[in-house]
Amino acid sequence: MLRAIKRLGRRLWKRWSGYHRRSLAETAMSRLKRMGERLSARDPARQVAEVQIRCAILNTFNALGMPDTITRA
């Protein structure tokens, strides 16, 4: 890994190794964990917004977990 970083540079290595995708997944997971298991808002309108945020985070997980498929013609 250190040789690859030295040869490619840190920016290219991160792109080549998929480091950014892992970092995005870890960030999304920490956001979800910080929200806890229960809704914290008391107002029904804010509860709806909180649920929508949770759904957006889960959709991010799904997008990050999907493999990139390449179809050959």
Question: Where do we find the tokens 């179809």?
Answer: 71
- Residue range of the domain that includes 15: 1-33
List the one residue out of 33, 16, 24, 34 whose CA is nearest residue 61.
24
Q: Tell whether 12 is covered by a domain.
A: yes
List the one residue out of 62, 60, 41 whose CA is nearest residue 50.
41
Q: What's the pLDDT tens digit per position in 10-69?
A: 888 887 887 777 787 788 778 778 877 888 889 999 999 999 988 888 888 788 777 777
Q: Tell whether 50 is covered by a domain.
A: no
Q: Tell whether 28 is covered by a domain.
A: yes
Q: Tell whether 40 is covered by a domain.
A: no
Q: How many domains does the chain have?
A: 1
Q: Tell whether 5 is covered by a domain.
A: yes
For residue 29, give both structure tokens.
Answer: 């997971």
Q: Tell whether 25 is covered by a domain.
A: yes
pTM to 2 decimals? 0.53
